[in-house]
A and B are shown apart, each in its own frame.
Chain A
């Protein structure tokens, strides 16, 4: 029998925890998660088989990260840049600090704000027992961040992070982000996962928790850029309290194989979430994305909009799940998933799933898998625009219904530029 994950990593985990001066309660959480991880199920992604990706068989989570900084640093007052467990930059507008906003690496947070972290970490939005990969994320966490916005504080400027994932050496990436918007607060958060290097094949296990307390408003934007040499499990999950709103704008501009689990629990009465996902896949990439919103609270609103473009021999599966539980009267669940295939060897899937256990609700779905509109191509080319450029314009048009809905102009511009780059690369391959 293969030695268990527990035997493999228990000593290293405790050593790593002590080395980072983690509080005992957190070290115990790690030990507990590691002990029971193998008893938990792996998460299921409809129509995606990721067994061969070794996501549940990490190798070197606790190696030291190398430094290879090759990225654009955004011009902003509130910024955290992390390379694994190393923090390269951490700044926050002093006005925000004075109001009690916390934005720091996870270890500093555990030391300086233990009560806050302990209160929310894996307790509200996600539980360590949700599945095996979440348990492993907790047990082997080797990087992370904490953002807290106190009651009734409204943050005007965006809070941004860049999380570098290192493929210059063998080092599995296990990252945990916790975002808490306390009652009546408002915040816009943008995170960017970005791979560095291509000399080692690694896995990435990422869990991002968002807690939107009553009457808060959270704009969560993510730009994911994982390189070819990593296999990624990414779980972003939100809790939405009474009359709170959590909006997601997620751009998947990865070059690797990815399973993404984007879930939102509308727990509060009158809670609201708009989840927007844009993905482009190229090469031989396989991507499976589950976006799920569950209406628990009465009069809650959950809308999912996903658009994807599939180039070359890549494959992209969008599963959209709208679930209204019994008792969530007056709730609304809507979703739209569309994928566009640009080559004969591309494979795409859009599966709308509505689970409705309450009568007094509204719900709807739309899904399509299609090819580039030839009439549009002809029109653009008849004006002298060459085929690749015309194709990019048509694709941009296709993705625009999601992009134009993203409220922050900066995110829209960055995402549009990323899309353009990814498409040009994809067309050249």
Chain B
């Protein structure tokens, strides 16, 4: 079993012009999860959900000013992004980059081989077999894997492609950053099927979403609500349903928080 722990995490957005001026987005996040568990983070716009995912992955645009992120008890803050990935983290991105001239297939092989010894690279047949299996789960065709990485993909295709990478790479922990945004109901089911196929003792996932809908298909073990850079409430799957009924403002008022929601009129 592996663990991922976020301890009193404070994160600012890096300001290119003046480092001291970075705006603090996360103001002390605490979260602990183990493989075998699915956690969901919900919250209104602008509360730092994506910042949390980027900070865990190590995006240099975000600066950790206090606190720690631990994988199996060891801090990963000094690790560059690629090392964190090889240690077992995966981030399905909201806006995946497009790279012309590099095919999906060759990219995924490079990603898998980066985790293996130079003298033990994945045999082509084994790779293709695995790719076929995973594509089938996601209703994807070879044609998509042969295309250039995300280039000209629709929003839905990009999301599907993120999940395909997840299934191919098989990380310990996957953070899914709004993987449901821009998906119609059929695509949502397909993507959920992909994530559910990963469920098991050796896999944990942190699912970031605005809407409860996704959680009808991927049932979480725990739900956390974030507001203003902190987790303000945690609970079981029922918490998500309650939120859907009452909205974030209702929860805020219940908790007696003095937080201005971005989209509040």
Contact = CB atoms under 8 A, between A and B. Distances in A.
A400 B151 CA distance: 13
Given A394-B99, A396-B102, A397-B99, A382 B91 contact: yes
A412 to B, nearest CB: 11
Contacts of A380: 97, 99, 107
Contacts of A393: 99, 102, 107, 110
B239 interface: no
Chain B CB within 10 A, most for which of A374, A376, A382, A393: A382
Nearest to B95: A375
B182 interface: no
A252 B93 CA distance: 37
A384 B114 contact: yes
Nearest to A394: B99
A423 to B, nearest CB: 14
Measured as residues with beta carbon below 8 angstroms from the partner, the interface class of chain B is 20 to 34
Contact of A378 (B81, B115, B149): B81
B93 A400 contact: no
B82 A381 contact: yes
Contacts of B73: none
Interface string B208-232: 0000000000000000000000000
Interface in A354-408: 373-376, 378-387, 389-390, 393-394, 396-401, 403-404
B96 A389 contact: no
B169 interface: yes
A321 to B, nearest CB: 27
Contacts of A379: 93, 96-97, 99
Given A399-B101, A404-B101, A384 B91 contact: no
A381 B97 contact: no
A385 B96 CA distance: 15
A282 B204 CA distance: 44
Nearest to B150: A379
A404 B82 CA distance: 29
B160 to A, nearest CB: 16
B165 A383 contact: yes
Contacts of A378: 59-60, 81, 97
A286 to B, nearest CB: 27
A18 to B, nearest CB: 53
Size class of the A contact interface (CB-based, 8 Å): 20 to 34
A379 B59 CA distance: 10
Interface string B110-131: 1100110000000000000000
Nearest to B93: A379
B193 interface: no
A159 B97 CA distance: 41
A182 to B, nearest CB: 37
Nearest to B84: A382
B149 to A, nearest CB: 8
Nearest to A389: B110
A10 B226 CA distance: 86
A384 B79 CA distance: 12
Nearest to A387: B82
B179 interface: no
Nearest to A416: B101
A385 B99 CA distance: 14
Contact of A383 (B58, B59, B85, B98): B85
A389 B107 CA distance: 11
Interface string B153-182: 000000000000100010000000000000
B136 interface: no
A266 to B, nearest CB: 29
Q: Which of A375, A378, A387 has its CB near the most chain B CB atoms (within 10 A)?
A: A378
Contact of B82 (A376, A385, A399): A385
B115 A384 contact: yes
B80 A381 contact: yes
Given A389-B114, A390-B82, A382 B99 contact: no
B155 to A, nearest CB: 16
Nearest to B112: A384
Highest count of chain A CB atoms <10 Å: which of B80, B114, B169: B114
Given A378-B59, A380-B107, A393-B107, A387 B80 contact: yes
A400 B90 CA distance: 28
25 contacts: A373-B97, A374-B60, A376-B97, A378-B59, A379-B96, A380-B99, A382-B58, A382-B90, A383-B85, A383-B110, A383-B111, A383-B169, A384-B82, A384-B111, A387-B80, A393-B107, A394-B99, A396-B101, A397-B99, A397-B100, A397-B102, A397-B148, A398-B101, A400-B100, A401-B101
Given A382-B90, A384-B114, A385-B114, 5 more contacts: A381-B82, A382-B82, A383-B114, A384-B115, A397-B101
